[in-house]
Structure formats: C-alpha cells, structure tokens
Amino acid sequence: MEETRRNPVVVSVINLKGGVGKTTVAALLARYAVRKNLNVLAVDLDPQANLSQALMTENDYKQFMENREPSVVELFNGYLPPSSERSAPAPLENVLKRVGSRWEQKENFHLIPSRFDFANNLIESVRVDEPVLARYIAHEMKNKDLILIDCAPTESVLTRTAYHASRYVLVPVRTEFFSTIGFPLLQESLEDFRSENPTHAIDVCGVLINNSETQWSPRGPHHRDSREEIREKAGEYGWPVMSNEMTHSRGYPKMAKEEYASHTGNAWGESQKIANEFLEMIGLSPREG
C-alpha cells in the first residue's frame, strides 16, 4: 500500500535575543530528523548565514559564494539577476542545496542557504513580499516532512516572513543573566502577527533550555535562578518548557557542523533525547528505513 503523504511541519527557531544557540539547535534537529529518515528542509533566514556554514562543507560554501549560486536572496527577489553567463534576468528554478558530508550528499536533506549581502538586498528593496517563503513551501515543498527556519535574533521583515511560513515556534534560551529579556518581545511579536493574520495558527511548541548544568558540571547559583526565571516567564505566556535540556558541552557545536563528530561527550545522548521530544511535540514520528 502506498504511504499517505503528509504536509510538512514548519518550525521557526527563534529568540529575540542573540547568542542563545538557535543555529546549533536548528542544525542538530535537522541532522537528527534526517537520520530518522524524515525528508528535511533547512532555511537560513539569518543574514549572518551561520546555518548555511554549519550544514555545508567549507569547500561547498566557498564555491556557493564564489559562483553566486541561488540563495534566499534570489528567493525573495524571485529571479536570477544578469551575470557573465546571463544577459538578462532568468527564472529561479532551484534554490535548494543538497546537504551531507564530504563523502555523501543526502537525498532527503536540503538547505536554502543565506549570503552575507542578504540584509542589504532587503534594505534596498522597495517592498518585501513577506509571504514569499510560505508560497514557495506550499507550492514546491509538499514532499518534505520537516522544515526548520533559522531566524535572526531581531524583529524585522525576516521574522514576519518566518511567521507566515510556520505552524510552530521553538525558543532556545540560555541560563544566564537577563535570559528571558527576549521573551516579552517575542510574545508581543507573535500577538501582533496573530491579530493581523487571524486565520493563521502559530504557537510556541517549546522552550529549550541551553547551557544548563548538571550535578557533574555545576554552573553557579545564577544558572539555577535563571532556570527558574525561564520556567516562570514561559508559564506566563503558556509556553511549554521542554523536559530535556542542553547542558554545557563542547560537543554540540561539533555535532552541528559534522554529521558524525567525535569526542562529543554527553552531547550525543542528550541531543537524541531533545530531538525525540521535539518531534513528539510537533506530531512527527520517524519513518521506517
């Protein structure tokens, strides 16, 4: 019997505070879902292009930049500009980059990459088409199971573009001083979007605590106080806090960059628990391989 195809679940990874590990989280969740045979698309909506550099090999990203290959910039513009090979604008046929390792490119793992001139392109635009990514996903990405959008840590047209495409929002947060400073900004941003788009369902599926502590790696009293503050503030907005946490580990950045990184410490086991909880929250289950 032919398997019933389901629509993709689109999740924006965002916190309106920088330095919380959102790119690492997006990369880890994407890589894990691919290993579980889910068809995954990652979208880099951050002008810093950190997710693109994490998921692509160094050589691939270098060639991508040098060759001026299609990126999220061209997706917003809707065409390929004239170049040394093209004397006129050309249709944007394929903005997807296949993701994998140095040895193997995955058939079920793609990326819409970003470039460092992304912000300049938007600033110079007369009017940005906010639902452009949502339309692209609706028309072209029906075969995907999970779409993860890595967002910039600021309220902007990029944030609203991500909202238009998303059903859920995942909020990474670090246990540190002023850890919840971005929560009220994000809550207000989501409420404003909902009021302007009353038929669009978008919810925070979870708050993921990062840089946490364990009995083996105590981080100090302010980390424990911060955890309680996170739970209290998230509770005010009705945001569920994930039961699994990312403890302080150098293994996480390694795993975000490499599919099978070595010397990851506690990060390997923790990341699998986090990813399984995340997939369960958004109603996705692994496919049989």
pTM of the model: 0.90
How far is Cα 189 from Cα 202, in angstroms, rounded to an integer? 12
Residue 28 lies in a domain: yes
Residue 289 lies in a domain: no
CATH number of the domain to which 176 belongs: 3.40.50.300
Output the six-digit token pair for 85: 């090979």
Tell me which amino acid residue 63 is.
Q
**Residue 213, by phi and psi: left (phi above 0), alpha (psi -120 to 50) or beta?**
beta
- Per-residue pLDDT of 78-118, as tens digits, reads 888 888 888 888 888 789 999 875 545 678 999 999 987 76
Residue 13 lies in a domain: yes
| Domain total of the chain | 1
Phi/psi of residue 135, nearest 5 degrees: -65, -40
State the average pLDDT over residues 62-71.
89
Residue 4 lies in a domain: no
Q: How many helices (H) and strands (E) does the chain have?
A: 11, 9
Q: Residue 84: helix, strand or coil by DSSP?
A: coil
Please give the pLDDT value at position 286: 83
| Helix then strand then coil, % of the chain, to nearest 5 | 40, 20, 45
CB 162 within 8 A of CB 12: yes
Tell me which amino acid residue 24 is.
T
State the average pLDDT over residues 196-216.
85
Residue 156 lies in a domain: yes
**For residue 212, what pLDDT band results from cuts at 50, 70 and 90?**
low
Residue 1 lies in a domain: no
Please give the pLDDT value at position 211: 75
Average pLDDT score over the chain: 86
Instruction: Give the domain range for residue 139.
Output: 9-281
Least confident segment among 11-20, 43-52, 225-234, 246-255: 246-255
Output the six-digit token pair for 136: 């692209």
Please give the pLDDT value at position 6: 67
Residue 3 lies in a domain: no
Residue 250 lies in a domain: yes
Please give the pLDDT value at position 219: 55
Please give the pLDDT value at position 215: 45
- Per-residue pLDDT of 132-183, as tens digits, reads 999 999 999 999 999 999 998 988 888 999 999 999 999 999 988 888 999 9
